[in-house]
Amino acid sequence: MENNDLLKSVREKAQVWTGENYDVETREEVKKLLENTDSTDLIEAFYKDLEFGTGGLRGIMGVGSNRMNKYTVGSATQGLSNYLKQQFPDVAQISVVIGHDCRNNSRFFAETAANIFSSNGIKVYLFDSLRPTPEISFAIRELGCQSGIILTASHNPKEYNGYKAYWNDGAQLVPPHDEDVIKEVEKIKSVSDIKFEGNPARIKIIGKEMDTKFIEKIKTLSLSPEAIKQYHDIKIVYTPIHGTGIMLIPRTLKEFGFTNIIGVPEQEVISGDFPTVVSPNPEEPAALAMAVKRAEETGADLVMASDPDADRVGIAVRNDKGEFILVNGNQTATIFTYYLVRRWKELGKLTGNEYMVKTIVSTELMKIIPERNGIECYDVYTGFKWIASVMRENEGKKTYIGGGEESYGYLAEDFVRDKDAVSACALIAEIAAWAKSQGMTMYQLLKQIYVEYGFSKEKGISIVRKGKSGAEEIEQMMKDFRQNPPKEIAGSKVILEKDFLLLKSTDNAGKITKLDMPVTSDVLQFFTEDNTKISVRPSGTEPKIKFYIEVHGKIKSAADYDNANAIADEKIAAVMASLGI
C-alpha cells in the first residue's frame, strides 16, 4: 500500500473513533492525532488492528485500533464471551476469574472486562487488587470456572499492557480454542457489538481467602522442612520489582518457615512506571542490581527477583569467592530439576509413574537428570501452555513432579497450570537451606550437579531484523537452513536434524522419523557428534531470529569447573563463527 493510500485508509479508520460510540476522552485524543501535521503517531495507532493472538493481546497503551485501550480490551472480552457461551451451552452459570498486575490501566481494563462478561450473563470473580498470574490460574481451578483472564504485559516496558486468556484447566489457550477464540474476536466489527454495561449482581470480589488457600497448597510442596527449621534464618533478599510478587511471596517465604527476609524498599513500591529499572525483566542483570547491592550490604546468601506479574524469577548466589553471580534460567532449571528428583527419590515418593516436562530449547540436563532416575521427561514447544497441555493429558494417569523453561519460568505443582514465581521462590529458598544442610552453597550445588550428570553451558543469541525487509531476511535465513542444512558445526559432524515445521527428524544416514508434536512450529534443531545442540526459531512476538546453543563436557570434580567453563566458551564461539552469527 502506497503512503498516500495508507494515510487515507488510516484517516478513515480514525474518523470512526470520533463518533458517538466512543467516550469523550477517546474522541478528543483521536481528533488531536488527526489534526497533527505529523501523521506518524496517527499511522502507528491505526494502521492495523491489535491482534488477539494465541497468547492474547499485548501492545502499547493509547487510543487507536493498534493500541491497548478500553475498546480493544472490549473486543477481546466480547469475543471470548461469545465463544464461552458456544462451548458451554449446558453449564447453568458460566464463570470466569479476572486478575491484573501493577501496570498503569490494569485495574481499569480488569473492571472493563468484568462489566462485559457480566453483561453477557457470565459470572465474574474479580480480584480486589493486583495478584500474581499463577494465582489466577489456581483460582480458575479452585472455583471451577470455564475461563479466566489476567491483564498484564509480563516484563515488557511500562508503555505496554496485555491480556492473557485461560481455559477451564487454568492453562493458557491451546488448539483448537486459541484459534477459535481469535475467530470470534475478529467477528466484532463495531463498538456497538460490545456490551459494556455491567451487571454488578454477577460480579463477586475475591481476595484474601483465595490468597490463603493458594499459600496453603504451596506449603504442601515443601520437601525439606527439617533443613528450613535448621537454617530458617538464612538471609534472603527478595524484590518484586514494583509488581505483584509483593502480595504473596514474602508471606509465602515466612509461612515456609524463613525468618530473615530482606526487602528492597524502593522496589516494594507498587508502580506501573517501574521507577527504579529500565526494564522490569529478571533476565537482565540491571533489574537485579539494587537487590544484589542490598544483599552485599546485609551479608545475604541469596537474591530473588520476580517480574511484574510474578510468574518468572531470577536469582543471584555467592560464588566460591563470596561474590554475587547471576544464575541463568537454564542453571536455575537444572538446580530445580535436580532437587525435586533427588528429594522425591530420597523420600520414597517415586512409584515409576512420575513425569517432568521441559521445552525443546531448554538445557538437556533437565531431561538427563529425571531419565537417569527412571522418570519420564516430555519435550514441548516454547511457552508454558504446552507444559500445561501435557499436564492436562496426563491428569489422573501420571504424577507431575515439575517442569520449566530456560526463560526463567518454573512450576513444581499441578494445582497451577502456568509458571509460578510464588512457589518457585519458596522452593529456591528451601534448596538454599537444604544445600546448607548438605555442607554446600547453591553455587557448589550447581557444580556438584555437573559432576554427577555432566557439564552443560548454554547461550542464547537474538538477531534483530526490523521492518518488512527484516521479516523477509529472517524468512530467508530459515529457508536456507532447511534447504542447505549444515553438515558439520564447529568441526563436529551433524548427526541429527529436527524440523518442527515438517514434523520430521533426519539422522546422518538419511533415516527419517516422524516427530510427535501437537502442532507444527517454525523451529529447527541440529545435534552434533560432540553432543552440541543448536536450536533456531523466529520470534513470534518480536522482529528477531533466535539461536539457542548448548554445549556439553565432563568434569570429574568441582575443581574442574572453571576449566570446563572456559572450554565451553571457546566451543560456543566456534559454533557462532561456524553458523555466521
376, three cell numbers: 519420564
Domain spans of the chain?
A: 1-43, 48-206, 223-451, 455-579
- pLDDT over threshold 80, residue 3: no
Residue among 11, 4, 71, 8 at smallest CA distance from 42: 11
User: Mean pLDDT throughout 400-417?
Assistant: 97
Q: How confident is the model at residue 472 (pLDDT cuts 50, 70, 90)?
A: confident
- Domain 223-451 in CATH 3.40.190.10? The answer is no
DSSP state of 50: P
- Across the range 224-241, mean pLDDT stands at 98
Q: Cα-atom radius of gyration of the chain, to the nearest Å?
A: 24
Q: Smallest Cα–Cα separation from 267: which of 234, 239, 245, 296?
A: 239
- Residue 1: per-residue pLDDT: 43
Q: Report residue 541's pLDDT band, with 50, 70 and 90 as the boundaries.
A: low
Which residue from 168, 111, 159 is spatially nearest to 137, judged by alpha carbons?
Answer: 168
The dihedral formed by the CA atoms of 436, 442, 447 and 449, expressed in degrees to the nearest 10: 80
Q: Report the distance separating Cα 243 and Cα 292, nearest Å.
A: 18
- How far is the CA of 580 from the CAs of 110, 175, 215, 437, 576, in angstroms? 46, 36, 48, 46, 6
* pLDDT reported for residue 466: 82
Tell me the CATH class for 48-206. Answer: alpha beta
54 pLDDT more than 90: no
**What's the topology of domain 455-579?**
TATA-Binding Protein (3.30.310)
Half-sphere exposure (CA, 13 Å, Cβ side) for 132? 32
For residues 314-335, average pLDDT? 97
**pTM across the whole model:** 0.95
Q: Which of 119, 147, 154, 423 is catalytic?
A: 154
> pLDDT for 181-197, tens place per residue?
999 999 999 999 999 99
Same fold, 48-206 and 223-451: yes
Residue 154: active-site member:
yes
Which grid coordinates belong to 441?
Answer: 552453597
Calculate the dihedral angle through the C-alpha atoms of 470, 475, 478, 479, rounding to the nearest 10 degrees: -130
Which neighbouring-strand residues pair with 357? Answer: 378, 403
The string of pLDDT tens digits covering residues 552-562 is 999 999 999 99
Kind plus residue range of the DSSP H or E element containing 12:
helix 3-16
Cis, bond preceding 543 (omega within 30 deg of 0)? no
Would you call 77 helix, strand, or coil by DSSP? Answer: helix
The helix/strand/coil state of 163 is strand
Q: Which residues contact 562 (CB under 8 A, 6 or more apart)?
A: none
Q: How far apart are the first and last CA of the chain?
A: 33
Long-range contacts, stretch 321-330, CB < 8 angstroms, 24+ apart: 324/292, 324/295, 324/296, 325/443, 326/285, 326/288, 327/442, 327/446, 328/406, 328/458, 329/283, 329/362, 329/405, 329/406, 329/407, 329/408, 329/409, 330/362, 330/363, 330/365, 330/406, 330/456, 330/458, 330/550
- Percent of the chain with pLDDT strictly greater than 70: 99
Which has the closest alpha carbon to 457: 340, 367, 328, 577? 328
Type of residue found at 400: Y
Q: Residue 346 has what pLDDT? A: 98
* 146 backbone φψ class: left, alpha, beta (φ>0; ψ -120 to 50): alpha
Q: How many CB atoms lie within 10 A of CB 577?
A: 11
pLDDT single digits (tens) 295-324: 999 999 999 999 999 999 999 999 999 999
Q: Dig out the grid coordinates for 427 from the structure.
A: 522452593
Region 448-465: mean pLDDT is 96
Query: What is the arrangement of strands in the sheet containing 302-306, beginning at the earlier edge strand?
Result: 261-263, 236-239, 302-306, 313-318, 324-327
